[in-house]
């Protein structure tokens, strides 16, 4: 497993948002947050990126491929019958381009940091399959890969704080944490609301 992670990270190349057809689609505002939605494209899929912007310069980042309604119906039926199922975050496209996709997301996080230098982030690493068992979400492969990439890319200005028990992590701004250590609990509370 570690060799696979190293292999993926070793092959990590820079892909730009522009090359992937990045578009900012909409921003929805509610009482608690703003949700910024963007899209980008691979040869076979359209990806949706959602960034939830909270108070205290905290952002929760998620992404997934756009799938048709029949796929969702099939997965719901599998879940209802107690079978293994997938959700939109767990789906594997089999395009074998994770480094390209992740480099686009790293670029987007970098853009947010440029606009908001006090920003901190949260994210999850989805399991490959779901069974409604807590073991599914424990220390997933995606979680470990995301943590390595985030630490490598942003380690000088941000600190990765992982929670393997639910495969969620924070990317906390080091300067903000010195002045406002409560940002860690604030971010963890937001992650908990998304479990």
Q: Global pTM?
A: 0.89
Question: Cα(177)–Cα(183) distance, rounded to whole angstroms?
Answer: 6
Q: Which of 110, 116, 97, 126 is nearest to 20 (CA)?
A: 97
Question: Cα(76)–Cα(73) distance, rounded to whole angstroms?
Answer: 5
Q: Which of 179, 175, 178, 143 is nearest to 161 (CA)?
A: 143
Q: Provide the domain limits for residue 77.
A: 2-193
Question: Cα(65)–Cα(44) distance, rounded to whole angstroms?
Answer: 10
CA torsion 103→164→112→60, rounded to 10°?
A: 120
Q: Give, in order, the Cα–Cα distances in Å from 147 to each of 112, 131, 153.
A: 18, 24, 10
Per-residue pLDDT of the chain (195 residues; tens, 9 = 90+): 666 655 555 454 557 899 999 999 999 999 989 999 999 999 999 999 999 999 999 999 999 999 999 999 999 999 999 998 888 999 989 998 888 999 999 999 999 999 999 999 999 999 988 777 778 889 999 999 999 999 999 999 999 999 999 999 999 999 999 999 999 999 999 999 998
Looking at the structure of the chain, the number of domains it has is: 1
């Amino acid at each position: 497993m570690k060799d696979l992670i190293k292999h993926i990270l070793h092959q990590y190349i820079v892909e730009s948002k522009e090359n992937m057809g990045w578009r900012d689609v909409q921003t929805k505002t509610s009482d608690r947050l703003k949700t910024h939605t963007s899209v980008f494209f691979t040869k076979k899929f359209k990806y949706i990126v959602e960034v939830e912007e909270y108070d205290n310069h905290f952002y929760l980042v998620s992404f997934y491929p756009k799938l048709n309604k029949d796929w969702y119906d099939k997965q719901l039926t599998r879940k209802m019958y107690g079978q293994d199922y997938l959700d939109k975050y767990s789906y594997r496209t089999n395009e074998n381009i994770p480094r390209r996709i992740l480099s686009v997301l790293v670029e987007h996080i970098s853009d947010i940091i440029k606009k908001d230098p006090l920003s901190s982030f949260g994210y999850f690493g989805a399991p490959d399959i779901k069974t409604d068992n807590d073991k599914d979400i424990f220390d997933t492969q995606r979680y470990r890969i995301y943590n390595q990439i985030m630490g490598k890319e942003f380690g000088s200005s941000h600190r990765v704080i992982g929670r393997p028990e639910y495969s969620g992590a924070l990317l906390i701004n080091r300067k903000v944490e010195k002045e406002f250590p409560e940002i860690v609990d604030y971010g963890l509370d937001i992650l908990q609301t998304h479990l």
